[in-house]
Amino acid sequence: MAQHSRIVGGSTAKRVIACPGSVALVDKMPPKPSSSYADEGTLLHDTIADVLDKGAAPEDFLGRTHAGAVLTQDLIDSKLAVALTALDEIDPKAEMEYAVESVVDFGDFLPDVFGSVDLIGRLGDRAIVLDWKFGDGVAVDVEENAQILFYAAAAMRTAKTAWVFDGAREVELVIVQPPSVKRWVTTVERVKQFEEELARAVKVALKPDAPMAAGDHCRWCAAKPVCPLMTGAIDRITKAKIEALPVEQIAHYLDQIPMVESFIKDLQQLAHGLIEEGAKVPGWKLVNKRATRQWVDEDKAVAHLTLAGVEPYEEKIITPAAAEKALKKAKQNLPDDLVVAVSSGSTLAPESDPRPAVVTIGQTLRKALSKVQ
């Protein structure tokens, strides 16, 4: 699984370039605990590396675990099989020479800056750098992606992986995020240019007065709860009189929602961790979540309910999604006329969202129609 340096790594390269001052702030934050999503990602990364390295099948690792995450057939079908199919598209004749899970660094050019690249290979006159992303979160673009450019630049500097770029005419960067595969062909010169951008940012980040800047790179920054730019933005938003805001300002604040929500989540996580370690956060405490009743012994419960004349099981038709999955295994399709997609209502979305806008009825027309009725 990926290894990262303290100053900057692949996943933090975009933030450090955009906000060098964040390095010092992040360094003061306590380490974030792992999550079930991260543990599952590690499990899938380790498994696909072994599949490629040992020539094994994903099913050979069925039941494998990592920190509570378990490799199931569903994970193999929805994640690993899709990822391996993507690799077949990139290298249909299986001619690529490659290496998996390679630790790469920048040597003396950028001491103590390193990372781990998922797959790196050479196909003809093209160097290939690939990053697996097995999470179900935010879709990631590949073009000008700082993380994969970081891996390419570091690999170019690393002795054991430099062969991939020797004499290469172009570099293909690939992000496989099941079910999508995103590919971008660039040049060796662009990778070297990125390296220079990164070096400048690292040099600035080590200064005591390194500048800071807010942007979409803040989303994954661990220092959000203590960042002066973030806390200032939150203060301004909370003091605004919503009903008096012009529509342009409303649009601006809506654009900030993902960043604000991420700030709140990280702040809560930070406070939770501090209290768990014995620190006092004035006005706050940890309490148990709402308890839900469970059977002590299901067999005894079934026996008791049956004796009392109560049916212990409920039966209902499976969902269309479950049916479609079951039919797919039987190599059958779900007839279109058996299902209908019904929206539960409307929700707010940015203009860039690919879904069509809902046709709305204005308040005046709605009032008029209500009188007619």
- Quote the distance between the C-alpha of residue 260 and its chain's center: 18
The C-alpha torsion from 306 through 310 and 314 to 315, rounded to 10°, is 80
Residue 141: the pLDDT is 93
Task: Find, among 308, 296, 336, the residue nearest to 320 by Cα.
Answer: 336
Specify if 148 maps to a domain: yes
One domain for residues 150 and 263: no
- pTM score of the predicted model: 0.68
Residue 53: the pLDDT is 92
Q: Bin 359: left if φ > 0, else alpha if -120 < ψ < 50, else beta.
A: beta
User: Which structural domain, as residue segments, surrounds residue 21?
Assistant: 10-205
Residue 277: the pLDDT is 83
User: In b/e form, how buried is each residue of 288-312, taking b as 16+ CB within 10 angstroms?
Assistant: eeeeeeeeeeeeeeeeeeeeeeeee
Residue 194: the pLDDT is 97
- Residue 353 in this model has a pLDDT that exceeds 80: no
One domain for residues 161 and 291: no
- Residue 1 in this model has a pLDDT that exceeds 60: no
One domain for residues 257 and 318: yes
Q: Among 177, 205, 233, where does a domain finish?
A: 205
Strands 180-186 and 65-66 turn out to be: unpaired
DSSP string, 190-248: HHHHHHHHHHHHHHHHTSTT-----SGGGGG-TTGGG-HHHHHHHHHHHHS-GGG--HH
Tell me the mean pLDDT in the region 275-288: 84
One domain for residues 37 and 186: yes
- Residue 293 in this model has a pLDDT that exceeds 90: no
Residue 296: the pLDDT is 85
One domain for residues 185 and 231: no
DSSP H/E element including 183: strand 180-186
Tell me the mean pLDDT in the region 273-277: 82
Specify if 1 maps to a domain: no
Max mean pLDDT among 21-30, 230-239, 274-283, 361-370 falls in 21-30
Specify if 212 maps to a domain: no
CA dist 263 and 234 (Å) reads 9
Tell me the mean pLDDT in the region 267-272: 84
One domain for residues 249 and 143: no
Collapse the DSSP code of 116 into the 3-class scheme (helix H, G, I; strand E, B; otherwise coil) and give the result: strand
CATH at residue 177: 3.90.320
Tell me the mean pLDDT in the region 281-287: 84
Specify if 213 maps to a domain: no
Specify if 215 maps to a domain: no
- Residue 3 in this model has a pLDDT that exceeds 60: no
Specify if 372 maps to a domain: no
Residue 370: the pLDDT is 58
Residues 6 or more apart whose Cβ sits within 8 Å of residue 2: 9, 10, 11, 45, 115, 116, 118
Q: Between 33 and 371, where is the model more confident? A: 33
Specify if 177 maps to a domain: yes
One domain for residues 133 and 25: yes
Among 91-105, 187-201, 302-316, the range scoring the smallest mean pLDDT is 302-316
Tell me the mean pLDDT in the region 65-83: 93
One domain for residues 237 and 329: yes
One domain for residues 133 and 271: no
Task: State the CB neighbour count (10 A cutoff) for residue 87.
Answer: 22
Tell me the mean pLDDT in the region 305-316: 82
Residues 6 or more apart whose Cβ sits within 8 Å of residue 336: none
One domain for residues 320 and 182: no
One domain for residues 164 and 265: no
Among 131-135, 280-284, 344-348, the range scoring the smallest mean pLDDT is 344-348
Residue 322: the pLDDT is 78
User: In b/e form, how buried is each residue of 190-205, taking b as 16+ CB within 10 angstroms?
Assistant: bbeebbeebeebbebb
Q: What is the CA radius of gyration of the chain?
A: 26
Tell me the mean pLDDT in the region 210-224: 88
CA dist 146 and 17 (Å) reads 9
Contact call for residues 265 and 137 (beta carbons, < 8 A): no
One domain for residues 231 and 331: yes
Joined together, the tokens standing for residue 63 give: 């039941």
pLDDT confidence bin for 279, thresholds 50/70/90: confident
Specify if 42 maps to a domain: yes
Joined together, the tokens standing for residue 77 give: 């079908």
Domain count, the chain: 2
Task: State the CB neighbour count (10 A cutoff) for residue 130.
Answer: 24
pLDDT in tens, 17-52: 999 999 999 988 887 777 888 899 999 999 999 999
DSSP string, 118-140: EEEEEETTEEEEEEE---SSS--
Q: Among 149, 172, 205, where does a domain finish?
A: 205
Strands 97-106 and 110-123 turn out to be: antiparallel
- Residue 142 in this model has a pLDDT that exceeds 90: yes
Max mean pLDDT among 42-46, 85-89, 215-219, 355-359 falls in 42-46
Q: Among 154, 172, 205, where does a domain finish?
A: 205
C-alpha to C-alpha distances, 237 to 230, 232, 251, 280, nearest whole angstrom? 11, 9, 13, 27
